[in-house]
Every structure is written in C-alpha cells, then in structure tokens.
Amino acid sequence: MERDPVIVIGLGGIGSAVLAAIARRGVRVLGIDRLSPPHDMGSSHGGSRIIRAAYFEHPDYVPLAQEAFQGWERLESDTGRRCLHRCGVLLTGGPDSEVLRESMSAAVKYGIVAEEIERDALRKRWPMFEVPEDHRGLFEPGAGFVVPETGVAAHLEVARRQGAEILTGVEVEAIEQGDRCPTVICNGRRFEATSVIVTAGAWTRRLLPELAAATLEPQRKAIVWCRSVQGREEEIDSSRMPAWLIDDEACGADGAYYGIPSHAGQIGPAGVKIGFHGPGVPLDPDDLRHEPDPEVLARFHREVSEYFPGLFVPPHAAKSCLYTMSTDQHFVIDRVPGRPQVVVAAGFSGHGFKFAPVLGERIADLALGQEVPADLSFLGLSRFDEPQLP
Ligand SMILES: Cc1cc2nc3c(=O)[nH]c(=O)nc-3n(C[C@H](O)[C@H](O)[C@H](O)COP(=O)(O)OP(=O)(O)OC[C@H]3O[C@@H](n4cnc5c(N)ncnc54)[C@H](O)[C@@H]3O)c2cc1C
C-alpha cells in the first residue's frame, strides 16, 4: 500500500488547475491521468475557449469569472506562457434573447465594462457581421479567449515545480471506500489518500456511478476551422474580429453558433474556429473520433455564412471534443455523499474551462478544508435531491 495525502484523478482543464493549487500550498499531492495531458481526447483541446465575465448562465458565476481573469494572468506571469487573449467578446441576440438580457444585467450588477450596440452601429464597426435584422449586440472589450492546451501545460508546470508527483498513462480503475480513508486503485497499485479529487471529465460516472441524478452525460461536439476568402484575411484576425456568439432563434431555444478569431501563435488549424453551443450527440467517451461528418461541415458553412456573407471558404479542418452535461447544465462540485474524503468536480457542460484557475483554488479549499466554499454552494449535489413528500 502506498500513501499520498491528496490524489487528483484526471489532469485535464480542471484537474491540472487543482493539482497546481494544492501543490502551491506545500501539500504533498499526486496527480494521475490515463493519457498524457494536454491531449485531444477529452474536453480541453481545440486551441481556444471563450472567457467573459458578463455571464448569462447564472449570476453566481460572475464573481468567479472575474477572479478567473486574475488567475490566468497570475499563471502567465508564473510560467511565461501566454494563456489569455483579450480580443473582446461580442454577443448578439433579438428582443427576446435571454443570453443578451442576462449578460446585460450581469454587466450592470457587477460593474463589468460592456457596451450595448444597436445593429447599425455594430455593422459599421464590424462590417463582416450580418446578424439578423432585429439583433442588437453586447460587446465586452476585456473578454476574449484562453488557450486550453497552454493552460493545462502551464498548470502542470506549476504543479511539478511545486513538488507534485504526476503519473500519466495510468488509468484509475476504482476508488474503494475503506474504514478510515479512500483507496485509489490503478494498474495493480493501491494508493491510500486522506483526500481524493475526481476531475475525470467525461469519464467521471465510471468512477462515481452513484452520481446518476447529476447525469454527467458525455456528448460529442464538432468544431471546425474556416479561412477567409483571399484578400479578407485581416477581417478574421483577432485585431479586427472579436470572439462572438450569435443567439439566433432560428437555431432553436438552446443553441447558438460561436466563433474565435484567428490570431498570432494560434495552436492547431489556421482560421476562425467555429462551434455550436447546444445539444450534442451522446456517446461512450472512449469512442471519440475526430473524423468530421461531411453533413455537419456543410451545415456549419451554410448556416454561419448567413452571418458573414462571402467571408469564409468551406471548413478545411474539423475536430471533435467532449461536453460532460449535468442535468441542469451547471457544474457539479461537492463532496460525494457517503464518501466524505472524495470531492467531485465535473459536469462542466461546455462552459467550464475559463474558470480553471479559480475553480482550482476553490476545489483545493474544499478538498483540504471543511466547508464547501460559499460561492460554490449553487453547484452542490443537493440540488438534485428528490423532493421530500410531506
Ligand atoms: C467544443 C467545446 C467548446 C468549448 N468551449 C468553451 C468555451 O468557449 N469556454 C469555456 O469556458 N469552456 C468551453 N468548453 C468547456 C470546457 O472546455 C470544459 O468544461 C473543460 O475543458 C472540462 O475540463 P475537465 O477537466 O472536466 O475535462 P478534461 O479536460 O477532459 O479532463 C479529464 C481528464 O481526466 C482523465 N481521466 C478520465 N478518466 C480517468 C481515469 N479513470 N483515470 C485517470 N485519468 C482519467 C482524462 O484523460 C482527461 O485528461 C468547451 C468544450 C468543448 C468540447
């Protein structure tokens, strides 16, 4: 039997940040991953993730998002690696757009610098956008995107430097609950721990099957890269084009196209990265394949071209990525019922990466301390409890 006070299972976007946060506190910690992060077989690849503070998903994310910006800057100065690009984020939507309404209300409530823009002014400033007639915009100039591969590598670098031990290419098979403490089992080895943190992304339910009520369903999401037509390259560069999300009723109630401009030092394929934030295809995460579905590529090009007439040539590259959807699309961060020394952080439902540095700190607090940090209470497991009959 081997002993490590704290074990982090899964070192992707969130687990790498947790590992760094714990190691920074001088606590002995072991991180284990079945692959060798950063890799492109989970949820934290594809070269960019939007980060914004005027958050529409739930007001309690806003202070966390604001703190996340500082976390990324700290990580950059600790490692000399560029993670954060503040090219601004433009959201557009019609009169009934909840995305726009809730983002505006978050901006007002929390004093986030954000500018409401009527469609005509929007067209003057960014002539490449042709959003629907009844759309308006909200532009957050301090927002932008973070680079997931760099973020994961930087967090692992900090963790290593601070003395964390890291095992890669090792799959955890089970977490046994002993009388005194949990035991992590992998490759015939058994590690006793005082605290275990499960940040296994789309594989979390395999290790914690009891979390059925939180769902944690793996879904496949396609992302594509488009170049501009010749001569319009500058219009898709981050110096001219912000990151964007177009909340168009035509895409259905819970889906929207988003894009991240091309930029200097881009990781992965060139061009604008385009995705659709909305329901994905459920799958076994071991079956993730990157081969694009030609029908999906054609649909992306056809539909996105309506917002950018004549700007893009058809996608030249595509990848798949995993969302882990919780029942209500909010994160799941809590102690696991019946396993007081095991913390779960999963179900990031397609919007978790931006928070990695701040969640790393809060999850470390939770694993090393007693109470659930107050600002994470809206993400706890009790929200899935069955209502009690009177
Ligand atoms: C297409 C796409 C676009 C997105 N856009 C945004 C965005 O714009 N902004 C944003 O903030 N977020 C975005 N997200 C969401 C964000 O990327 C995820 O929420 C975040 O990356 C989740 O990180 P994770 O650590 O939970 O999972 P992962 O990064 O997948 O990490 C899980 C790790 O656990 C390891 N693992 C699993 N099982 C085991 C085991 N048994 N033993 C050992 N290791 C194990 C895996 O190998 C993996 O490395 C997007 C996601 C996708 C897919």
Q: What is the mean pLDDT of the chain?
A: 95
**Cβ of 360 below 6 Å from ligand 1:** no
Q: In this structure, are residues 46 and 268 in contact, taking their beta carbons and an 8 Å threshold?
A: yes
**Cβ of 43 below 6 Å from ligand 1:** yes
ipTM above 0.85, yes or no: yes
What percent helix, strand, coil does the chain show, rounded to 5?
Answer: 30, 30, 40
Closest residue by Cα to residue 198 from 83, 80, 347, 63: 347
Q: Which amino acid is at 231?
A: G
- Write out pLDDT tens, residues 192-231: 999 999 999 999 999 999 999 999 999 999 999 999 999 9
User: What confidence score (pLDDT) does residue 180 get?
Assistant: 87
The alpha carbon of 279 and the centre of ligand 1 are apart by a number of angstroms equal to: 16
CA 170 to ligand 1: nearest atom:
43
Candidate from 9, 36, 44, 286 with most ligand 1 atoms within 8 A of CB, to mutate = 44
For 343, the enclosing helix (H) or strand (E) is strand 339-346
Q: What is the CATH number of domain 86-143+217-325?
A: 3.30.9.10
2-44+149-214+328-384 and 86-143+217-325 agree in CATH topology? no
pLDDT interval class at 253 (50, 70, 90)? confident
Give domain limits for the chain: 2-44+149-214+328-384, 86-143+217-325
- Write out pLDDT tens, residues 140-160: 999 999 999 999 999 999 999
**Cβ of 321 below 6 Å from ligand 1:** yes
Of 14-28, 281-295, 318-332, give the lowest mean pLDDT range: 281-295
Q: What is the CATH number of domain 2-44+149-214+328-384?
A: 3.50.50.60
**Cβ of 12 below 6 Å from ligand 1:** yes
Secondary structure of 33-55 in the HEC alphabet?
ECCCCCCCCCCCCCCCEEECCCC
The alpha carbon of 16 and the centre of ligand 1 are apart by a number of angstroms equal to: 11
Give the residue-averaged pLDDT of 77-105: 97
Structure tokens at 341: 């020394």
CA 44 to ligand 1: nearest atom:
21
Closest residue by Cα to residue 262 from 44, 39, 48, 43: 48
The alpha carbon of 12 and the centre of ligand 1 are apart by a number of angstroms equal to: 6
Query: CB-side exposure of 180: number of CA atoms within 13 Å?
Result: 5
Nearest CA to ligand 1 atom 26: 201
Q: How far is CA 55 from CA 107, 219, 252, 340, in A?
A: 8, 23, 20, 32
**Cβ of 315 below 6 Å from ligand 1:** no
